[in-house]
Amino acid sequence: MTALSPDLRLWDPPVTYRIGVAMGVQANPYSGELLRAIRGAAAQAGCDVLLAETEDAAGEEAAVVRALRADLVDGVLLVPAAGDEAVINGLVRMGVPTVLVDRLAARNDVDQVGTENVHAVASLVRHLTSRRHRKIGLVSGEESQEVSRERVRGYRLGLEQAGLRFNRELVECGLSTPGGAARATAKLLDGWPSPTALVVADESMLVGVQYEAHRRGIKIGSELAVVGYGDMDWARRVSPAVTTLAQPAADIGHRAVQLLTSRMADPDRPPESVLLTPKFLHGASCGC
């Protein structure tokens, strides 16, 4: 069932705008930090926030956005679900002020804010090559998502910058799920050439990579280097801690609200795509 939960407080100043936030709360590892930032920035701007859970599913996303529109929100912050862009197309066609958050699309007709992917992932590859790794595998994400394609491009760029040739046999799609990543890791480790290091394209897949390495008795850090993209509390508590690129969730939330309020105030301004730099968090999983 589609649920809308207003974030209303008594005795607040009059609301300037009502913002609908549509996202898969449970599917997003840093949704709590992102929502806190959105609510804080919205409060500063005198905006009311209406949260709608999409379950990270395209069908539920469409129902949620319809419900938000029926509730007369002035604008929408959308963390797009994987799949087609029908919901985004509809919002743009109807002229609804919209900002895509975190998962960006390959289009220039809507405001977007997220993290830079291509050069960031290339830096992970270069970090591994600095440790003398030459057989570096990639567990890539859901191929329908632009963010996944960007991270594959970053992987290839990193290899090129290190003077290494791209080998298709060292890339497997983990479908952006733990189970898919475990199967992808198994294929890579059973294949030829077998990688000495893995780049994991998102946080949910790091769980599957960890599981498969543990199942095989492979010691991450000493026998298999692992680096990833994402900011998870558990990644810093496990042994060894995981080397990752962390999304600046608070900055993304604040910038998203700024873009949306600017769009609502000036509907005719050119759309912006804002790419923020992720933070490098070093652990021992890379072997150093």
Write out the E strands in 153-200.
171-173, 197-200
Thinking of the domain 117-247, which architecture would CATH place it in? 3-Layer(aba) Sandwich (3.40)
Of 175, 157, 177, which is closest to residue 166 (Cα–Cα)?
157
Distance between CA atoms of residues 249 and 32, nearest Å: 9
User: Domain 18-115+248-276 falls in which CATH fold?
Assistant: Rossmann fold (3.40.50)
Is the CB of residue 131 less than 8 Å from the CB of residue 288?
A: yes
40-70 burial string, b = 16+ CB within 10 Å, else e?
ebbbebebbbbbbbbbbebebbbbbbebbee
> What are the pLDDT digits (tens) for 77-135?
999 987 779 999 999 999 999 999 998 898 999 999 999 999 999 999 999 999 999 99
Same fold, 18-115+248-276 and 117-247: yes
Q: pTM of the prediction?
A: 0.86
Distance between CA atoms of residues 208 and 142, nearest Å: 14
> What are the pLDDT digits (tens) for 32-72?
899 999 999 999 999 999 999 999 888 999 999 999 999 99
Domain ranges of the chain: 18-115+248-276, 117-247
- Owner of token pair 């806190």: 36
